[in-house]
Each structure stands twice: as C-alpha cells, then as structure tokens.
Copies of this chain bind each other. A is one copy, B any other.
C-alpha cells in the first residue's frame, strides 16, 4: 500500500485525510499549528515539516488556501522539494493559479518526481461526505496511480489534460457559477420589482431552458433571504481573482467575470465576506434600492 503524506489539515484537509487513514493508508501529516489529535488517534503520524512528510511518503497531497501557500510548502524552507525523490508524486488539491501550477509541476518533475493538480469542488460538506468533484491535470499513468486515493475522497473524478488543466477547469467552474448566480439575481430582481411573485417566476423558469442547479438552489436562497454560507464570498473573490489574473496573463477579456468580482467587492465592503456567494444579489439590490420580495 502506498504511503501517503497530507499537508494542510484545515476544514477541507482534515476530513479528506481522515478518509484515507480510515481506508488503511499509512499517513504522514503536517499542517500549520497542531495536527488534529483525531487524525493521530486514527493512526496518522504527525511530522514537523513538509520536508519530513516528503521524505517518508510516496504520494504527497497538499490542501492549503492559495498559490503562495503551495509555493511555500513546495519550495520554502523545510519544503517538499528538499526531500522529494524520483518515483514519488506531489498531488496539489488546493485551488490556485493555473499558470503558477505549470511552473511548480516543471520544477518538481526536474527533481524526478511527478505532479498532479487536482482541485476540488463541493466544499466542506463534500469533503466530509467523500463526494467531492475532482478536476485533474497531469500524466495519464500518474493519474491512474493516484486514482484509488481520489476515489476515497470524491465521486466525480476527471483527468482533463496536462499539468495545470485541473486548475484551469476549476477556474472555469467558478466563472460559470458566479456569473449564473448573477444572471439569476438580475432576472429575479427585475421580476420582483415589476410586481411578479419571484417564487412563482423561479418555478416557471425551472421548467424551461433557463433552468440550472443554481436557479434551483441559489434562486431559492435569494427569495428566502438565506445568505448563511454555504460557499463564502471571500473564497469566491479569491477564485475570480485567479480567473482575472490568468485572463490578463493570457491576453483575454472577461467582462462579466470582472463585473461579478466588483459585485462581490461591494458585498465585502458592507461586511459580507462571509455571506454565501448567492448574497451577490445584495449588491444588485443596493444599486436598485430594492430587495427581491419587497412589495414594489
């Protein structure tokens, strides 16, 4: 059985590592602060650094917040690069820059090891339920080697392409989710201000071509005024920042992604960093001086 490493044991990493330990994998663990005692009790081995994890484990999984954290784990002091060796694999499941990922993969491969980027969607609920969607970039043979681990953590697991393709797919996912939330917000706000019952409009639209899970789930949140997260605006701001900076690097214009980021920024300016991302509609409502469901 492959020995695994897991670096980054936060709200996502802890349950994900837990599933692997429960499946019997020898697990070398490291995180900022203390390794959760529950994971040690279950058989995990706490290590003092990322380098120590990489020295012990065959497959090193990383699950940290953003690009600079991955960079520090890999190439910082006592980082993975100090002790990784040929035949081992780095699996970055964080959601970070696709462009930086291609660079990280090259540097790890230059050390003789392999690299897979494998960001997820599904949030902490999906992490706990082992039902994450996992979007992967890397070599086919390496993906097949890691797949049994992915299957302990997720359900919808796709190899999209070469290194970076997983991160690109995750960014594309977050663009569509944000812009569809905004679309539902504009539509329900117009309908409500025009005097129609937004709940009945949503119901009618769910029968047709405009339907989506986002109309169902987030349309209902907007009508019921339930903006408890869910997926926090601060996280989606991070993702759209990746989208916009990647687009600028590549020479693309993403006009509605830019607008959605501004709407998130407006929410954050009003203390809404921790609202569910469907709370983006509140920025549209502020501009209209009208809330969905208010009598017109």
Which of A's residues lie within 8 Å of B, judged by CB? 98-99, 121-122, 133, 135, 137, 156, 158, 160-162, 164-165, 168-169, 171-173, 175-180, 182-184, 186-191, 193-197, 200-201, 203-205, 207-215, 243, 246-247, 250-257, 259-260, 263, 284, 287-290, 296
- Given A201-B168, A205-B169, are A190 and B252 also a contact pair (CB < 8 Å)? yes
Contact A194 B164 (CB under 8 A): yes
Contact A287 B253 (CB under 8 A): yes
Contact A156 B207 (CB under 8 A): yes
Complex CA–CA separation, A243 to B210 (angstroms): 15
Contact A196 B161 (CB under 8 A): yes
Shortest CB–CB separation between residue A262 and chain B, in angstroms?
8
Q: Which 7 A-B pairs have the closest CB atoms?
A: A179-B183, A212-B212, A172-B187, A176-B210, A156-B207, A158-B204, A253-B287
- Given A196-B165, A288-B252, are A190 and B209 also a contact pair (CB < 8 Å)? no
- Given A160-B196, A180-B180, A203-B158, are A168 and B191 also a contact pair (CB < 8 Å)? yes
Contact B172 A190 (CB under 8 A): yes
* A247 nearest in chain B by CB position: B190
Complex CA–CA separation, A197 to B290 (angstroms): 42
Question: What chain B residues lie within 8 Å of A191 (beta carbons)?
Answer: 168-169, 171-172
Question: Can you give 29 A-B contacts (C-beta < 8 A)?
Answer: A98-B194, A99-B194, A133-B208, A137-B196, A156-B207, A160-B197, A161-B196, A161-B197, A164-B194, A165-B197, A168-B191, A168-B194, A168-B195, A168-B196, A169-B196, A169-B204, A172-B187, A176-B205, A179-B182, A180-B183, A180-B210, A182-B256, A193-B252, A211-B213, A251-B289, A253-B287, A253-B288, A256-B256, A259-B259
Complex CA–CA separation, A162 to B210 (angstroms): 22
Complex CA–CA separation, A184 to B179 (angstroms): 9
Complex CA–CA separation, A182 to B200 (angstroms): 25
Contact A200 B288 (CB under 8 A): no
Complex CA–CA separation, A287 to B257 (angstroms): 15
Complex CA–CA separation, A168 to B256 (angstroms): 23
Shortest CB–CB separation between residue A249 and chain B, in angstroms?
9
Complex CA–CA separation, A200 to B135 (angstroms): 10
Contact B180 A250 (CB under 8 A): no
Question: What chain B residues lie within 8 Å of A186 (beta carbons)?
Answer: 175, 179, 254-257
Contact B195 A164 (CB under 8 A): yes
Complex CA–CA separation, A133 to B196 (angstroms): 18
